[in-house]
């Protein structure tokens, strides 16, 4: 009997958090365990930007769907009353995360999503010192966490055919 894949086992979480992959879900949930109470509202998979319109050859429904699919996606927006924090979540932080956060902030401001300038937060499990320097220079807060990666392991079978988590 085949076992479920990681994506199947974490389907509920993947639907809730939107665009996050399983390892990013573990990173975010680890951070939220000790930080969620600081916020009055949490939003996940927040679409921003114009997206791309495939053109008038397509139906309005198809065009709207494509535009939505091609918009940028902020992993999370955390609110402290009227103060937004835009969040990018990565297992291993890379320079692309810095670029994503700066892009999100600029789109946020261009769209007038809030009166306040958003704070930026990168939540990750690993971040090298060079990238940390660049993030600090851009006033991007970094939170490093140590998730329990065991949820990513495939369950094994015992000798009698039962599943061991």
pLDDT confidence band for 127 (50 / 70 / 90) = very high
Average pLDDT over every residue of 101-113:
97
Contact 58, 70 (CB under 8 A): no
Asked whether the predicted pLDDT for residue 15 surpasses 70, the reply is yes
What pLDDT was estimated at residue 43? 97
Q: For residue range 56-100, what is the model confidence (pLDDT) as tens digits?
A: 999 999 999 999 999 999 999 999 999 999 999 999 999 999 999
Give the rounded distance of the alpha carbon of 148 from its chain centre: 18
Is 3.40.1350.10 the CATH number for 6-147? yes
More confident residue, 156 or 44: 44
Asked whether the predicted pLDDT for residue 135 surpasses 80, the reply is yes
Asked whether the predicted pLDDT for residue 126 surpasses 90, the reply is yes
- CB hemisphere CA count around 77 (13 angstroms): 18
| Helix segments in 45-147, DSSP class H | 60-70, 95-111, 129-137
Contact 124, 92 (CB under 8 A): yes
Closest to 104 (Cα-Cα) out of 80, 124, 85 = 85
Average pLDDT over every residue of 117-126:
98
């Amino acid at each position: 009997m085949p076992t479920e894949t990681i994506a199947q086992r974490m389907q509920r979480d993947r639907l809730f958090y939107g665009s996050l992959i399983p390892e990013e879900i573990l990173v975010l949930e680890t951070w939220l365990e000790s930080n969620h109470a600081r916020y009055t509202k949490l939003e996940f998979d927040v679409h921003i930007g114009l997206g791309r319109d495939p053109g008038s050859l397509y139906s309005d429904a198809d065009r709207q769907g494509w535009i939505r699919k091609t918009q940028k996606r902020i992993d999370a927006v955390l609110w402290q009353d009227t103060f937004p924090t835009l969040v990018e979540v990565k297992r291993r932080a890379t320079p692309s995360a810095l670029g994503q956060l700066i892009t999100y902030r600029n789109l946020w401001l261009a769209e007038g999503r809030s009166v306040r300038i958003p704070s930026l937060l990168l939540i990750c499990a690993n971040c090298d010192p060079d990238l940390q320097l660049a993030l600090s220079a851009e006033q991007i807060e970094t939170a490093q966490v140590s998730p329990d990666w065991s949820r990513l392991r495939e369950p094994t079978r015992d000798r009698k055919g039962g599943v061991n988590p």
